[in-house]
């Protein structure tokens, strides 16, 4: 095939030596080879030496690739829009985050009587940029703030409480609070939260789990907290919670691991405070439940409605539901917020957000016009103690070419207006976004966003295709500096809304999980073939990228259809699907993928497990794995093992189609600073541009 033109890079690629073990296990009658088992142990001297040699090799390539400086400058510029968060109102005080153009991390602000001041700056806490603000929650009166921070990307949040007016530290740090919800009681003296048990009290391999709901009094030792809920449930349960504004009702929802089956409980804190069941996970439905200021218990649920419906109940009789808004056959009901006697509802139609206005009885009144075809998030209304703007809904808004801003919808005027623009002004490229439909091999219609310099293909161009396809996680239009930089340089960017996500409801998710996981990969291959057939690109110009479950997606793509793709960036991936349950949070995902401990399910996993599908003598595309050593979700050993396997097996010329692994320390799976984000993006995009012939 014709190779894209490339600037001169290292003339040879001598991959670091990696011992191949003669390790074959009989698993339910399957002979399963694992020649790189030793790379699972980061403390093994062989792993340390191999990783260090890979670091040197990878940097010798990435640092030599053309266009790095100009790309880095442009990505940095496009990120100078900064960011702004939707305000949370407490007793007339507005709490919100903002990242100014020159800042590395968002800062939390409070505005009181029109005067803004910094409440919490992660960079001031830690100038190294390793500390991130994971979550925050002001008390009902707006006088106290519970916040959680973690260091080095480990996501092991530490909870603190500060006085909003004085800045005095009132409590904390309380450890083992990973992304804990906080439900304040009126008065700001107590709150409910979620914390793991003392690791000394549980088996060593279960220390990531065993969460409980606790009641805490500010300023007292966490060891004296009241254990409210969780002792009799599976140790993998995660919990959410909320407290009604009047402090009477505590609502707890929970599910084992990442399964999409919720249990819901409610307690009358003015009565026995006993948590009574509202919904059981055995009923097989998702449900978000909360008590609003109007006194009703609201339930947004997939029970008997895969695209969700909204119900209401009297909290004193919480199992007697009345349906307010029925399931829609062509959109997904995402959120609902009471607003001054009405209901404002967010729907997603084929991954695009819509805003609808309903009466208190659920009757549809009208659709609210939004700024364009994009994504809406972060709904917020004034609380009962905020006297002004009682008829206003605030929300975040973005599309592929518009930075996230905050808008407001006024019930009295019926208008949507800009409330807060992003703090930085940048020159944005003039690009076009379109959504196309295509057929997967089984005849299922799938949709894909395409961002390019023109609405229709003019000539085949270097193209970057991405997707996710798992855990009922969907992605709609959203601002991305990397997307804009790629397309501005002359490329095409595409995102496929694959099965396994939630773009079309829970049935769409279930169609891409467990025994049906291959549907996700088929949807992705079909997206690539459609881009080629329409003239957007060619196999020699087509690159793919994905992270986490999306890393599994592109790992499966490159091992199933290596001839279809020129280059792959595989980030923080799951790749050894036989042993994934043995590491970090892996055991939580058996409901999504299946378990190797079950004979039939092992067959599903082996059918696509990328590590086990690497075959010698195959011409594989250029591959860059990116991993993060402090990742507390997906173990970097997946990428290490598969990288070694590909380096050993590929029949491609390594000077033209290298297999590399890039690793970072002191950063994890999720939050990171802007500077680290830019550094990662530059390495990934220059690699893909070099491999597909895109001149930066």
State the virtual CA torsion across 404, 410, 416, 418 in degrees, nearest 10: -50
Q: In what order do the strands lie in the sheet with 226-229?
A: 182-184, 190-196, 211-217, 226-229
The full DSSP string for 294-335 is TSPEEEEE-TT-TT-EEEEE-TTSTT--EEEEPPPTTSEEEE
The dihedrals phi and psi of 236, each to the nearest 5 degrees, come to -90, 5
The yes-or-no answer on residue 638 being catalytic is: no
φ and ψ at residue 88, rounded to 5 degrees: -110, 125
Active-site residue, selected from the candidate residues 150, 440, 669, 673:
669
21: tokens are 């073990």
The phi, psi pair for 483, rounded to 5°, reads: -60, -50
Which residue out of 180, 548, 630, 652 is catalytically annotated? 548
Query: What does DSSP assign to residue 85?
Result: P
Structure token digits, residue 419? 């409330």
Cα 136 to Cα 159: distance, rounded to the nearest angstrom: 9
For Cα atoms 597, 645, 631, give the angle at the middle one, nearest 5 degrees: 65
Report d(CA 206, CA 16) in Å as an integer: 35
* Residue 364 annotated to the active site: no
Please tell me whether the peptide bond between 173 and the residue prior to it is cis, using omega within 30 degrees of 0: yes
Alpha-carbon span 398 to 401, nearest angstrom: 8
Give the whole-angstrom CA distance, residue 270 versus residue 567: 61
Q: What do you get for the CA distance between the two ends of the chain, in Å?
A: 23
Interhelix angle 674-692/45-62, rounded to 10 degrees, is 70
Q: Tokens for 524, please give them.
A: 């992705």
CA–CA dist 443, 275 (Å, integer): 47
Q: Known catalytic residues? A: 548, 669
């Amino acid at each position: 095939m014709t190779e894209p033109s490339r600037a001169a890079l290292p003339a040879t690629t001598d991959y670091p030596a990696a011992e191949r073990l003669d390790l074959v296990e009989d698993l339910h009658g399957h002979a399963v080879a694992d020649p790189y088992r030793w790379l699972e142990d980061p403390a093994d001297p062989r792993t340390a030496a191999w990783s260090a040699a890979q670091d040197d090799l990878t940097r010798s390539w990435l640092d030599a690739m053309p266009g790095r400086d100009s790309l880095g400058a442009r990505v940095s510029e496009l990120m100078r829009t900064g960011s702004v968060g939707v305000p949370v109102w407490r007793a007339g005080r507005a709490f919100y985050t903002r990242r100014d153009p020159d800042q590395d991390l968002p800062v939390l602000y409070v505005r009181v009587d029109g005067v803004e001041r910094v409440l919490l700056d992660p960079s001031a806490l830690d100038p190294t940029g390793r500390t991130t603000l994971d979550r925050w929650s002001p008390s009902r009166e707006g006088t106290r703030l519970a916040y959680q921070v973690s260091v080095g990307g480990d996501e092991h949040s530490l909870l603190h409480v500060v006085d909003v007016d004085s800045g005095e530290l009132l409590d904390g740090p309380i450890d083992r609070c990973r992304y804990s919800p906080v439900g304040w009681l009126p008065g700001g003296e107590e709150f409910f939260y979620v914390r793991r048990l003392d690791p000394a009290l549980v088996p060593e391999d279960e220390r990531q789990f065993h969460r409980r709901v606790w009641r805490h009094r500010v300023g007292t030792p966490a060891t004296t907290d009241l254990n409210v809920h969780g002792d009799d449930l599976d140790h993998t349960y995660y919990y959410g919670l909320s407290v009604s504004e009047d402090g009477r009702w505590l609502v707890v929802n929970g599910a084992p691991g990442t399964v999409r089956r919720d249990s819901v409980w409610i307690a009358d804190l003015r009565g026995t405070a006993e948590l009574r069941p509202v919904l059981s996970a055995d009923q097989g439905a998702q449900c978000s439940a909360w008590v609003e200021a109007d006194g009703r218990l609201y339930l947004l649920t997939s029970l008997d409605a895969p695209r969700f419906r909204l119900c209401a109940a009297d909290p004193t009789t919480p199992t007697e539901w009345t349906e307010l808004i029925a399931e829609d056959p062509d959109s997904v009901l995402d959120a609902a917020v009471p607003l001054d006697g009405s209901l404002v509802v967010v729907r997603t139609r084929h991954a695009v957000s819509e805003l609808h206005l309903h009466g208190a009885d659920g009757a549809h009144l009208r659709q609210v016009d939004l700024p364009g075809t994009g994504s809406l998030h972060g709904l917020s209304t004034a609380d009962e103690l905020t006297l002004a703007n009682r008829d206003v809904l605030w929300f975040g808004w973005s599309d592929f070419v518009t930075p996230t801003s905050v808008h407001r919808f006024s019930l009295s005027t019926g208008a949507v207006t800009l409330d807060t623009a992003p703090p930085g002004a940048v020159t944005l490229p003039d690009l076009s976004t379109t959504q196309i439909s295509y057929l997967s091999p089984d005849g299922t219609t799938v949709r894909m966003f395409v961002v390019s310099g023109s609405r229709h293909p003019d000539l085949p161009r270097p193209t970057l295709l991405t997707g996710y396809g798992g855990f009922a996680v969907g992605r709609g239009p959203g601002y991305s500096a990397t997307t804009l930089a790629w397309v501005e340089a002359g490329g095409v960017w595409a995102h496929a809304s694959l099965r396994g996500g939630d773009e079309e409801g829970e049935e769409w998710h279930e169609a891409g999980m467990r025994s049906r996981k291959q549907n996700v990969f088929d949807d992705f291959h079909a997206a690539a073939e459609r881009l080629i057939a329409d003239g957007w690109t060619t196999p020699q110009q087509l690159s793919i990228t994905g992270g986490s479950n999306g890393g599994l997606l592109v790992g499966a793509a490159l091992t199933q259809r290596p001839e279809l793709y020129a280059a792959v960036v595989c980030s923080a991936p799951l790749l050894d699907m036989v042993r994934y349950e043995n590491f970090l949070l892996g055991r939580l995902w058996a409901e999504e993928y299946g378990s190797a401990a079950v004979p039939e399910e092992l067959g599903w996993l082996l059918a696509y497990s990328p590590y086990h599908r690497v075959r010698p003598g195959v011409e594989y595309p250029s591959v860059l794995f990116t991993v993060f050593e402090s990742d507390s979700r997906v173990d970097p050993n997946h990428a290490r093992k598969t990288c070694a396997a590909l380096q050993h097996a590929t029949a491609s010329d390594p000077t033209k189609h290298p297999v590399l692994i890039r690793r970072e320390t002191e950063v994890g799976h999720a939050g990171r600073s802007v500077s680290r984000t830019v550094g990662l993006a530059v390495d990934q995009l220059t690699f893909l541009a070099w491999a597909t012939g895109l001149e930066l």
